[in-house]
């Protein structure tokens, strides 16, 4: 999927996504990452939803965003409610969606000037 929103202004934007690969500006990433308007933190520890844990989610809040967008791979998945409770009590919104939708949502929120952090999982859990 190619994404063509072009708000720019020096902000980090998702230019394309396909399972296992993410294009941000002129760079290609093949590992999960944390994305913010001014920064990309490559190689976020969880590779797929099965490796996601509460400390990994807490990393997203360290940047003090207004909203966190969590891309969970090719399918929508939800972390346990107990992992999300600290965000709600500190009034940080958390939106969970498949990674393609998370990329589009991140671009939209970023272009609106919102304080957004995206945690994008690029792989799916292995089949059992």
Confidence of residue 128 (pLDDT cuts 50, 70, 90): low
| pLDDT tens by residue, 48-103 | 999 999 999 999 999 999 999 999 999 999 999 999 999 988 899 999 999 999 99
Q: Is the pLDDT of residue 124 over 90?
A: no
State residue 27's pLDDT score. 96
4 belongs to a structural domain: no
How many domains does one find in the chain? 1
79 belongs to a structural domain: yes
Look up the domain containing 52 and give its range: 14-120
> 88: helix, coil or strand?
helix
93 belongs to a structural domain: yes
| Domain of residue 47, CATH code | 3.40.1230.10
Q: Are 119 and 109 in contact (CB under 8 A)?
A: no
Query: Backbone phi, then psi, for 50, in 5-degree steps?
Result: -65, -20
State residue 125's pLDDT score. 81
CB-neighbour burial class of residue 67 (10 A; exposed 0-12, middle 13-18, buried 19+): middle
| pLDDT tens by residue, 4-51 | 555 556 899 999 999 899 999 999 999 999 999 999 999 999 999 999
98 belongs to a structural domain: yes
126 belongs to a structural domain: no
């Amino acid at each position: 999927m190619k994404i063509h929103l072009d708000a720019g202004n020096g902000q980090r934007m998702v230019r394309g996504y396909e399972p296992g690969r993410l294009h941000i500006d002129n760079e290609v990433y093949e590992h999960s990452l944390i994305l913010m308007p001014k920064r990309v933190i490559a190689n976020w520890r969880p590779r797929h939803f099965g490796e996601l844990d509460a400390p990994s989610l807490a990393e997203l809040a360290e940047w003090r965003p207004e909203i966190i967008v969590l891309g969970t791979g090719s399918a929508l998945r939800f972390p346990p409610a107990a992992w999300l409770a600290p965000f709600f009590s500190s009034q940080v919104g958390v939106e969970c969606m498949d990674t393609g939708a998370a990329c589009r949502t991140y671009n939209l929120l970023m272009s609106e000037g919102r304080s957004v952090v995206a945690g994008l999982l690029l792989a799916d859990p292995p089949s059992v």
